[in-house]
Chain A
Amino acid sequence: VKAFEYAVPASLEEAAALLAGKKGRARLLAGGTDLVTQLQGRVAEPERVVSLGGLPHLDRIEPSAKALKIGPLASLTGIASHPEVRKVWTALAEGAGAAATPQIRNAGTLGGNLCQRPRCWYFRNEDFPCRKKGGEICYAIDGENKYHAIFGGDACRIVHPSDTAPALVAFGASLVAVSSTGARDVPAAEFFTMPETDVRRENVLAEDEILASVSVPRPAAGSRSGYLKIREKASFDFALVSCAAVLTFSGTACTAARIVLGGVAPVPWRCPGAEEILAGAPLDAMRIHRAAEAALSGASPLAKNRYKIAMAQAAVRRLLGRLIPS
């Protein structure tokens, strides 16, 4: 670990000012489950680490008639085990519960889960100066790319590692970013950015901005949601592919659908083609099958990750099958 200055601000504004003062050479610390490994692996060498641990009220999980408000320091365990979140925002609770291990879910926060850096083994290895670290090459494109993206271009083929992000995008959540100069709302779908926007970042947060809260609208009456994660190990493993779905039913007819894939692209991958097929009719096996195929249309797999297409289609089919009202 490279030596750094450690700051414990008393307010979000102060924290933002501490970030602004270092112009990109400061990093936020919440649960630390990702940042500490980045520091140890010298993937991050900040001059200042700003701890959010001392800030009050940032760990709230507050459902209301209109929306679910979650603070960035809410633990993944807290979200996964919250009775009302489990009932109403099921996909989010299931996503939070599918991440990592019980120990990491206790320490890990929602903010950290959304802002964690990718797991790409070239990015995480100090010896590969990849594009995400300011270099010229995405080593994955012609390299060992089994775990990499099947959507996206030549800039960088990471997958977004978060298990909560697909659900937040599916629910149409909105995020608040604060800086020393103010606050702004960002829809979850626009929060995550493709490498083509800025290869060195995975989201829209500016160097001095902090994710301050997440608001998830209460889904319409008759909605059902879920998250399905496919991985090599049943615990302590990132998704090979995952799928979050929010479906609204009127009787047996599906009136609206949101399908978002994880593990397939540098951002949570929304599937409008699949959503269109699903909305407006009862879900039968044929319709689900067509939706799953549509969800993966446009995929451009690399040499070692073609399997993700069939696997993600299976994830979509399985999850939708599970969500059909009985």
Chain B
Amino acid sequence: VAKKAKVKLGFPGHFRVSEVPLAAGDPEPLAFDADLEVIGKRIPRVDGPDKASGRARYTFDLRLPGMLHAAVLRCPLPHARLRRIDTKKASSLPGVRAVLVLEEREYPYAGYEVAAVAAETLAIAREAVRRIRVEYEPLPFVTDPEAARSPGAPKVRPSGNVLSSAGSSRGDLETAFRAADASVELTFRTPVALHVCLEGHGSLARWEGDRVTVWDSTQAVFEVRDALARELGIPASKVRVIKDHAGGGFGSKLQMRSYTMIAARLARMAGAPVRLLLSREEDFLCTGNRHSSVQTIRIAGRRDGTLTALWWKAYGTGGVEGGAQTSGPIEGLYRFESLRVEEEDVFTHAGPACPMRAPGHVQGVVGLEGAIDALCDELGLDPLEVRIRNDPSQLRREEFRVGGEKFGWSRRQAPGASPGPVKRGFGVAGTTWEGSGIPGPRVEIRLHGDGSVDVSCGTQDIGTGTRTILAQVVAEELGLEAGDIRVHLGDSHFPYSILSGGSLTAASVSPPARSAAFAARGELLELAAPLLGVRAEALETGRRQVRVRGTTRAVDWEELLRKAPGGAITAAATRGPNFEAYHPGTAGCQFAEAEVDVETGQVRVTRVLAVHDSGRILNPLLWESQVNGGIIQGISYALLEERVMDHRFGKVLNANMETYKVLGAMEVPRIEILPFPVAAGYNNTQVLGIGEPAIIPTAAAVANAVANALGVRITELPITPDRVIDALERAKEKQA
């Protein structure tokens, strides 16, 4: 008979109690108001000292005896076929140990890999690459998505450059627009943006016999293992992928890219370990990006603030890769009686898009929230009130209210009413994201006689603090401190876990960590029960001791574990399916204040208030760090970041950190974060992810604040000074 547990779901004032199934051997879900010692505490990240002191080793820091360095020859043309290649002058260069010509003969974007060299130094490898003689046959290309949509454009895929997809559709759109008190139509444009991981992409490969180990800068050791095995034609059991620390991924390291395969092949050819680290330029051209979008949005509403109709026509390009949809957040955020979504994926001869922190949502919310504000301006309504009126989520409505009050939303002025030349405006936007975790990850734990614990899991800490939260969850269950727990991650030899993306990690690995600790604790108590002459149920664990509850009668772990085989207790648990949830994923909202200089066009974000929920907050310090990071990355996207392509030549002009501009410390505003604790359900820790929710509303809130300041809406991101000046001049001409 399956056991059941009662859980309280919701948030203060809105609780309900529900019964959820309990898998055999699983602990009951942590109660919302449980009195906890380690979980929920501001514990500094356990690997912080290693990172601060340089002891933490990133892929870029690794050096093995006899290691060779690799460099890659990349096609300089946006579309070309290989006519001839001559590697003799590269092979004959002293110090060169292997030259690899890749099998592809047609290159779909500038920067695509053609050949690679392994040599004793990086300088020799790079020089050898320059000595490879290549003759390309230039092929027709198109990098501008608008041009790529027109008939007769050079084809990126044999099936054509446009892939249409119809999203949700309901209601009678035409009637709804006719019946509305007001409607507006706007076209929003968002740029191709880049992940800009501080640690670039790279891999180090070493063969021992027919087995290969790669140290890869990745968010997904098991995905890389399987993909590399496929590429090399060997069983996955012969591939080991390790990733100790990562300097950022943001989605760009969720899949194996060619550099891993090239390093492994060169290492096999040369009979020596090979390290291939991409330069910043290569990183920017070849390892993924956030797709662009052009969103034409028609929105209608009534005078009472009811949103009635939305017509969403959008396209975007992810270069040679698909997935350029932006309508994802619509359904989660606001109710529309009538809705039509039409989207197109446009393929171009440019580097591939890949997931980037809340893919599609960041772009889509810019359009959706911008359109709602434009409609509010048209109807003379308060954008915050309109959002609260149309938001189906009780949770987010409350967050909008609490945030608005804290932010001082009532001081918001009418659009453009702020006196110049530096005008101030307020903006707001909401977020919706799943992030509830998935079944599959397995965590193994070992209890030792000295009271320490080893925790192993094949998940990876991509800088979010996974090591620390797992230490906290295990320590809580065993009556230990986080410092007693050693957490081992990022190795495909450890028990399986999922990739670190989609804000899934905390919600997917903290429950099995707790279950494994719970099971180990049970075994420990069973060992202690006969010694203390009571039943296991009467016992509790403390630091290095098992006690009879309510007494001082105790037995040391050391003594107990001497009786265990090998002197340790080992237990493991696998993440089961989600159970009932209070709310679909996370809600949340952000408020921004911006100052716009109408003469110089400069925009400064002066204040952001973020209200977020993600179930139980395991560690407020790490949680706030994620929210800060999301906001900073979001402002950067709103104001600065844009990959610039010269479509005449199909070449990226700013594949560097001088002209691909990223927000600096001086542009970071005052950030206030209001955590909104929720009894979320879903899993036994009741944790949800916060990584992606934190970036989703930022750019939209900033763009809305700029529009509120100016009384003129800038619908193209990033909002750079030239765009502000041009938009104000256009508005002036229109008036005149």
Binding site for B on A (CB under 8 A): 1, 119, 121-122, 125, 127-128, 139, 142-144, 146-147, 230, 232-237, 240, 304-308, 310-311, 314-315, 317-318
Contacts and interface: CB of A to CB of B under 8 A. Distances in A.
A235 B666 contact: yes
B599 A310 contact: yes
Interface stretch (B47-55, B474-482, B720-728): B720-728
A317 B658 CA distance: 29
Contact of A310 (B644, B654, B663, B725): B725
Nearest to B648: A143
A306 B730 CA distance: 12
Interface string B653-666: 11000110101111
Contacts of B640: 232-233
Given A232-B602, A310-B725, 19 more contacts: A119-B659, A121-B653, A122-B653, A125-B651, A127-B651, A144-B644, A144-B653, A146-B722, A147-B659, A232-B640, A232-B720, A233-B640, A233-B663, A233-B666, A234-B666, A240-B721, A311-B722, A311-B725, A314-B600
Contacts of A237: 661
A307 B666 contact: no
B74 to A, nearest CB: 11
Interface of B: 76, 123, 599-602, 639-640, 644, 646, 648-649, 651, 653-654, 658-659, 661, 663-667, 720-722, 725-726, 729
A10 to B, nearest CB: 29
Residue among A119, A121, A127, A142 with max Cβ neighbours from chain B (10 Å) = A121
B664 A234 contact: yes
B722 A305 contact: yes
Nearest to A142: B648
Contacts of A143: 646, 648
Contact of B721 (A235, A307, A318): A307
Contacts of A308: 722
Contacts of B659: 119, 121, 147
Contacts of A235: 664-666
Given A1-B123, A230-B602, A314-B600, A125 B726 contact: no
Contact of B661 (A233, A307, A311): A233
Contacts of A318: 599-600
Contacts of B653: 121-122, 125, 144
A307 B725 contact: yes
A307 B664 contact: no
A122 B649 CA distance: 11
A304 B722 CA distance: 8
A158 to B, nearest CB: 14
A306 B601 CA distance: 13
Nearest to B279: A40
A230 B721 contact: yes
A232 B661 contact: yes
A234 B721 contact: no
Contacts of B639: 232
A122 B663 CA distance: 24
B664 A230 contact: no
Given A127-B76, A315-B600, A232 B123 contact: no
Contact of B654 (A1, A121, A305): A121
A75 B722 CA distance: 32
A210 to B, nearest CB: 27
B664 A236 contact: yes
Contacts of B665: 235
A125 B664 CA distance: 25
A255 B659 CA distance: 41
Nearest to A228: B600
17 contacts: A121-B654, A121-B659, A125-B651, A128-B651, A142-B648, A143-B646, A230-B600, A230-B602, A232-B721, A235-B665, A306-B726, A307-B722, A307-B726, A308-B722, A310-B599, A310-B725, A311-B601
Nearest to A317: B599
A240 B663 CA distance: 17
Nearest to B597: A314
Contacts of A240: 721-722
A274 B301 CA distance: 52
A144 B642 CA distance: 13
Contacts of A144: 644, 646, 653
A134 B659 CA distance: 24
Contacts of A121: 644, 653-654, 659
B729 A139 contact: no
A142 B644 CA distance: 15
